[in-house]
Chains A and B, each alone.
Chain A
Amino acid sequence: MSATGTLDFQPKDYKSDLKPIWCPGCGDFSVVQGIYRALAAIGRPPHEIAFVSGIGCSSRIPGYTTAYGFNSVHGRALPIAQGIKLANPDLLVLAAGGDGDGFSIGGGHIAHLIRRNMDITYIVMDNQIYGLTKGQLSPTSQKGRTTCTSRYGSLEEPVNPLLYVLAYGAGFVAQASPTDLVGMAAVIEEAIRYPGFAFVNIQSPCVTYGEEAQQIKGLKAIQESLASLGHNPADRLAAMDLAQQYGEKMHLGVFYRNPEPPPTYGDLVKERQALLSKDALPRERILDLFIKK
């Protein structure tokens, strides 16, 4: 208990007994540490948090936390997270997954979550490869990338996750990396605190199938803090300019934070419910709606 009477939580309070089975050296180990620290800083008890994921290496993450977890269906973390938030708006809802889960099979869901502006934080562990299935091209793989299923190199341009969510109007967009654990925990915390949809892209290296340039050493060589560039996170167009350098530079920090966050979907639903409730039929008379008088 703190001096102010609130409960104090430590990162270990969010760590489950389940042992991660990621490859040793995987960037996701650092990501889950960043999440523990961010949650401890937020201070919500684990039973007030729901953590939803899709399928993939990184989607194992809810199981490694003490929050309510749902390792769901490939690409469907976001619809399930939205359902949870609608059913119980008091829960702190996190969604997580990989770049394949989020921007390939689940790509269509992101736009709709953004336009609804539900208060959900979406953490993507972007490793530019399908690691769980032994290293195939993912939506963020660089053009020319060779893998076991693309021996002569990819012919496709990669999806730019940062530009993608900025273009759809996400209110909070940030990028982090295990190369800077302090910054990563701070960015996740800020994303959770943002009142609305928040997106954090984490460049998390795949040590088994990832390219040399995408390992910690390679990432450190191209990382640049947005704060050190004097970037103003309220400037959406400047954020989009910087986001275009995805794949060449690794900018760390907050790209965009809407200085005037619009109402969330949850706020609008409450407003609508309040408006209609005075004329609403009591539950026992609900069938009257369908009976012609």
Chain B
Amino acid sequence: MATRGIDYANLSLKDALDLAILIEDEAQERYEEFAVQMDQHRTPEAAKFFRYMVENEAKHGRELSARRVARFGSAPSAVSRTMIYDIEAPDYDAARAFMSARKAMEAALASEVKAHAFFVSALPTLQDAEVRALFEELRDEELEHQQLVQAELYKLRPESGLSDDDFVDEPAAQ
């Protein structure tokens, strides 16, 4: 989780909104990739959950985009995807072949915790009052997202006690 070349002290509300949209885009894209990976590895439960996360991230991105357009129209942005790295997107390392739905949800939960930590850590560096308010709102939304994922986790039946390794073939001589 990191950013590069973003001057938080002088971040405008327009660029803060764009940054938030990019963060949602990145997460949406990563969950889409994970869903495809799970499809490829015949893991439909995890794929279904990752698609659920795709929808959530897309919905949030659309809401932010609408606010951005309403307030700033199509004014050019000063932030880009090259400046953000895995803020809300789960790390690539979080996916595993044959992961259970529970593991998929735990990976998403860890990402929401990570995103919350990002907004918390950025807050002290912000100067603009409106940007601060936006970041506080986004920080709180990450907590709501955590609750959303936790609610999905509670719906699951308890784990059987088998680990992922029980389903992965050992390396075999050719």
Contacts and interface: CB of A to CB of B under 8 A. Distances in A.
Contact of B172 (A23, A134, A181): A134
Interface in B81-96: 81-82, 85-86, 91-96
Specify which of B41, B92, B172 lies most central, judged by the most chain A CB atoms within 10 Å of its CB: B92
B40 A21 contact: yes
A135 B171 contact: yes
Given A10-B80, A23-B97, A25-B94, A181 B40 contact: no
Contacts of B94: 25
B93 A178 contact: yes
Interface residues of A, number: 35
Nearest to B174: A134
A12 B38 CA distance: 22
Contact of A24 (B85, B96, B172, B173): B96
Given A149-B173, A178-B93, A181-B86, A24 B81 contact: no
Given A10-B80, A12-B81, A178-B92, A24 B174 contact: no
Interface residues of B, number: 27
A209 interface: yes
A147 B171 contact: yes
Nearest to B29: A12
A134 B173 CA distance: 8
B168 interface: yes
Contacts of A148: 171-174
Contact of B92 (A8, A29, A40, A133): A29
Report the 7 A-B pairs with minimum CB-CB distance, sorted nearest first.
Answer: A24-B95, A29-B92, A135-B171, A148-B171, A24-B37, A216-B93, A181-B85
26 contacts: A8-B80, A11-B81, A19-B36, A20-B33, A23-B97, A24-B96, A24-B97, A25-B94, A26-B92, A27-B92, A29-B33, A30-B92, A30-B93, A37-B81, A135-B171, A147-B171, A148-B171, A148-B174, A149-B173, A181-B2, A182-B2, A207-B93, A208-B97, A208-B168, A209-B171, A216-B93
Given A19-B36, A149-B173, 8 more contacts: A23-B41, A24-B99, A25-B97, A27-B92, A148-B171, A178-B92, A178-B93, A209-B171
